[in-house]
Homo-oligomer: A and B are copies of this chain.
Amino acid sequence: MKPPKISPRIAVYGLGFVGKQLAGFALDKGWDIVGAYNRAGDKVGQDLGTLLGREAIGLLVEDCDHADYSKLDADLAFVAVSDRLEDNLISYQRLMSAGANILCHGAESCNPFRLNPDVAKKIHALALQHKVTFTGGGIWDMTRIWAGILSVGPNISINTMTHTSFTDIARQGVHLLRFCGAGLTVDEFKAKDVAGGGGLGGIAIIPPLCVVDALGFEVKDVKEQLEPIIWEEDHQSHWLNETIPAGHVIGTRMKVDISTVEGITIRNCFEYRDFKPDEVEQMIWKVEGEPSMEIRVVREASHLASASSLFNRTPDVLSAEPGIKELWKYAPLKPSLFL
């Protein structure tokens, strides 16, 4: 069951924490990177290898808004810019028009037709036109979505599915801990609209909606509620190198209830926050039904798991039919040891 060796020509669009890891994985495989793009700033004009802290590879990072994509000859482009399809659309247009398949790290890209049907239709049409495939993914692939699908595999009946998770969000970049409100007062949390559409609003509905769609349930209603996480004692944050006072915000709690026509309720509680020293990052799917089971994923060294999960979808996307193909329509993620 070893996959055939592949050697795709790669483009990387967005060279933040995740994009740089993706570029590094591709170089480690000996794959050619033929395009690297970032927004204007000091990364533009640098050699990609140098930017990664490696030897120069003779490829300069280009300004994404002024590059000539007509010259791009990539089989696959990794996009790691924004969680929102609307913000990413311009990158998809640039890359797919040049004939590149897309693997996108944005949260909404896991389930475009649910999250933004209008943009999804545009992406799908463009992908069909250029005979390329569009797939979104990242750390949710195995740890939330496939774990959820698997959790009910033995079931002949299901009453409820409950997804509870605790994420040490700064592992994916310290700025994300600030994005989740850490260090703010409750008033600032509200004023900055951390829970709004420019913040974390609409994010936690994504993994359970992927599980629901994979299992073929019909959604009746989706309720989402976000709130600041507050502790009663001071917290010394090693990520922020500061003390967050008691009563200030440690992160954001996202509660999502999905009811279905089948009468199955899917309850979710995500915590994106700072961690105490002895806590472990874990995602739990608990099933009540026949049988009742629980799958718990403990993410010990997960700082590279989001990039590696997306990277490991490479052979799937290269051999898929054109159009949007969501990650649950492939087989579960496989390691990339043999690629």
Contacts and interface: CB of A to CB of B under 8 A. Distances in A.
A142 B154 CA distance: 7
A216 B158 contact: no
Copies of this chain held together in the complex = 2
Contacts of A309: 153-154
Contact of A296 (B290, B295, B303, B328): B295
A31 to B, nearest CB: 13
Contacts of A308: 154-156, 290-291
Interface in A287-338: 290-305, 308-309, 311-312, 328, 331-338
A152 interface: yes
A150 to B, nearest CB: 5
Given A141-B153, A149-B332, A298 B305 contact: no
A147 interface: yes
Contacts of A63: none
B335 A147 contact: no
Contact of A299 (B141, B293, B304): B293
A266 B56 CA distance: 38
A219 interface: no
Contacts of A143: 154, 293
Q: Which interface class (under 10, 10 to 19, 20 to 34, 35 or more) fits A?
A: 35 or more
A213 to B, nearest CB: 7
A150 B293 contact: no
A262 interface: yes
B293 A296 contact: no
B158 A153 contact: no
A191 interface: no
Given A153-B332, A155-B308, A262-B337, 6 more contacts: A291-B300, A291-B303, A292-B301, A293-B299, A293-B301, A294-B298
